[in-house]
Amino acid sequence: MPKVKKTTALAVQPTPSQKGGGFKAAEYNAVATAAELLEIRLLKTNFGVEPEFYGVQDEARLSFGREVLSCSFKPEDGTVAAIFKYHVYGKQGRSKLLKCEAEYAVIYAVPSSSPEEAARGFCRNVGAFAAYPYFRALVSQLSWGAGVNLPPLPAIASTAHIPPKKPADDALASNEQDEALE
């Protein structure tokens, strides 16, 4: 089985709330409370295994990731939709020997009166979690069909609501550690 670094897959692009906002928590919560998942659609896949992978799969390094390709809000329809791209790569040295990429559209019904940034922020945050189980199932099925022994994909984490660490806190913690060592 390929070597996997025990970690969670993190978003490639920060969500709007990580960039400083654009919506208030109450607006986001109003969208989240009223939203209904309408569809999750597979749009595109790209899967490939180089023959060399079979000889080195126990030593191969796997990497995982996701990104938001686009997100749009249509108040006239009361919908917000995003396209998410997920990937798994298997590398030996600098050579990419295994690749599985997929794009999914996730569509929610939301109140037409929702602020655009809150609706888009909700879809970007929650939509990634909605489509990920479909990607995990796709990877499982394709790797089984190809005879590749991949481990289950890791959980994904949301960093949307984790405040950034303050430099002063780091300096204080460092001073406290130094004092404890003396």
pLDDT along the chain (182 residues), means of 10: 43 42 83 95 97 92 93 96 96 94 97 94 94 96 93 78 54 47 42
């969670």: which residue's tokens? 8
Claim: this prediction has a pTM higher than 0.85: no
- The two tokens of residue 176 are 């406290």
CA nearest to 88, candidates 72, 67, 66: 66
Distance (Å, rounded) from C-alpha 124 to C-alpha 128? 6
Q: Give the whole-angstrom CA distance, residue 151 versus residue 63.
A: 12
CATH architecture of the domain with range 16-181: Roll (3.10)
Position 18 scores a pLDDT of 42
Residue 149 makes CB contacts below 8 A (sequence gap 6+) with 1, 2, 57, 143
Q: Do 66 and 101 touch, CB atoms closer than 8 A?
A: no
Give me 154's structure tokens.
């890791």
pLDDT in tens, 39-73: 999 999 999 999 999 999 888 999 999 999 999 99
Task: Count Cα neighbours of 23 within 13 Å in the Cβ-side half-sphere.
Answer: 23
DSSP, collapsed to helix, strand or coil, labels residue 52 as coil
Q: Per-domain residue ranges for the chain?
A: 16-181
Show the CA angle centred on residue 75, arms to residues 84 and 16, nearest 5°.
45
Check residue 42 and give its pLDDT.
Answer: 98
Instruction: Give the whole-angstrom CA distance, residue 124 versus residue 17.
Output: 10
Residue 156 confidence (pLDDT): 84
Percentages helix, strand, coil for the chain (3-state, rounded to 5) are 35, 35, 30
In whole angstroms, what is the distance from residue 80 CA to residue 39 CA?
11
